[in-house]
Structure 1
Amino acid sequence: MSSLLAPLRRGPWRHARRRDLLHVAVVVGAAMALSLGLVWLGYLLYVWRVAARSPLAPPQRRDLLVFGRKLIGDRPERDYQQRLARALALVHEGRVERMFLLGGCSGGRISEAEAGLAWLRAHGLPDAVAPRLEQASTDSLDNLRHARSLLRHDDPGHAMPPVALVTSRYHLPRCLLLARWLGFTASVPVAAEERLRLDRRIALRLLAEAAYVMWIDLGLRWARRIGHARLLMRVR
């Protein structure tokens, strides 16, 4: 049973008990059955719209949260390079208040954030721009939780500043959902790629993303409805 539940221990459920995971699985399964799968199609539409329609820049100057990705030979791979290139373009356009590079060690000798900073400097990041590094996380939820702590530390007693979430189009729906659960109510998505390219790899990612977003969102909504403090603890 533990091996079957292992793939479900992601995001808010990383430290959830087995019975809690089963509880969420029953709720999501019931929603799928009662809707004849239409609920998943609804989340797929949400994922598609965010991935396809997200802009290439925020509406005004904002703090940037740039999401990392697993490194290859301690260097950013293609998707991560696109995210960094978008952030660099926004710096040159004068649209960046502060920049936060998110990502801890994911198997390499250095963190994703460190590798991202090295790439930016090698590609013309102005000396006056000093990105903050968040290096304690290995998934999107923890990226955002630790970024929230950094922002609150910088501005104690103030409301959460508006932020722009910079990542790949297929990754934006998840990040936007989790950001809003964590209190980033004024967050906006910013796409790394010029447009959504629907090759086989991206299509499969979008289908999987819809299932993941449904699993997280329905589970958290149900937990909030019944007052399940243990399930909600990770998004507070």
Structure 2
Amino acid sequence: MPRSPRLPIVIFGARVRPDATPSRTLRHRLKAAAAFARKAAAFARKCENPLLIPTGAARDGLPSEARVMADLLLAGGVAPSDIVMEETARDTLDSIRACSRLLRDRGHVGPVAIATSAYHLPRCMVLMFLAGWKVIPVPPPPHPAARSLPRRWFWRLREVAALPWDALLMVARRGHHRASRD
């Protein structure tokens, strides 16, 4: 029986601490993605394992968010062939663009799973959809990204502003690319 294409799971980065260890948010996102990957592999035995794509650039001389996540995945028993790092993206919109390029370069045309925190998931899903992908949400971590209520509201309100702004930038860029091809 022919094997189905691999399901890519894009894991959005989060801060790396000054001691080069993952932040709580990064660990929770990674844990949710790994659990989803295990369930997807068990559910679709005829498919190859999902392709885990941690994304996030290096900052302030620290290892990239993608590298920290890849190292944790490897330490958790994920095969190196099941991980492709995207280490150039400095924000969510960069991650969408870079991962879209990476997937298209690999010839992927199917759906893409998105792993991130609950507050961040709507923006990631909308942007990935605007980039031309069918999107599958990975169930977000059960723990809130921020421990304090004011901090949780800060992140939610930030997303309220960021979603329309990034969507506008995505649509404008898409229109610019179409115009330059004509």
TM range (shorter): 0.7 to 0.9
Structure 1 length normalisation: TM-score?
A: 0.60
Question: How far apart are 1:70 and its partner, in Å?
Answer: 1.9
Query: Which letter maps to 2:24?
Result: R
Alignment map for 1:61-210 (pairs within 5 Å): 62-72=7-17, 73-95=19-41, 96-122=49-75, 124-127=76-79, 130-155=82-107, 160-184=109-133, 186-194=134-142, 199-210=149-160
Distance 1:128 1:85 in 2: 17
Distance 1:104 1:93, change over 3 A: same
**CA-based RMSD:** 2.9
Match of 1:229 in 2: 176
- Per-residue CA deviations over 1:177-211 (Å, capped at 9, x if unaligned) read 21122112x11222331266882211221122112
Question: How far apart are 1:107 and its partner, in Å?
Answer: 2.1
Question: How far apart are 1:110 and its partner, in Å?
Answer: 1.5
Unaligned runs of 5+ in 2: 1-5, 42-48
8 Å Cα contact 1:174/1:209 also seen in 2: yes
Distance 1:210 1:89 in 2: 28
Unaligned runs of 5+ in 1: 1-60
Match of 2:46 in 1: none
Structure 2 length normalisation: TM-score?
A: 0.76
Query: Which letter maps to 2:34?
Result: L
Distance 1:218 1:140 in 2: 14
8 Å Cα contact 1:85/1:192 also seen in 2: no
RCO comparison, higher one (Cα < 8 Å, 6+): 1
* Higher helix content, 1 or 2: 1
Length, aligned pairs only: 164
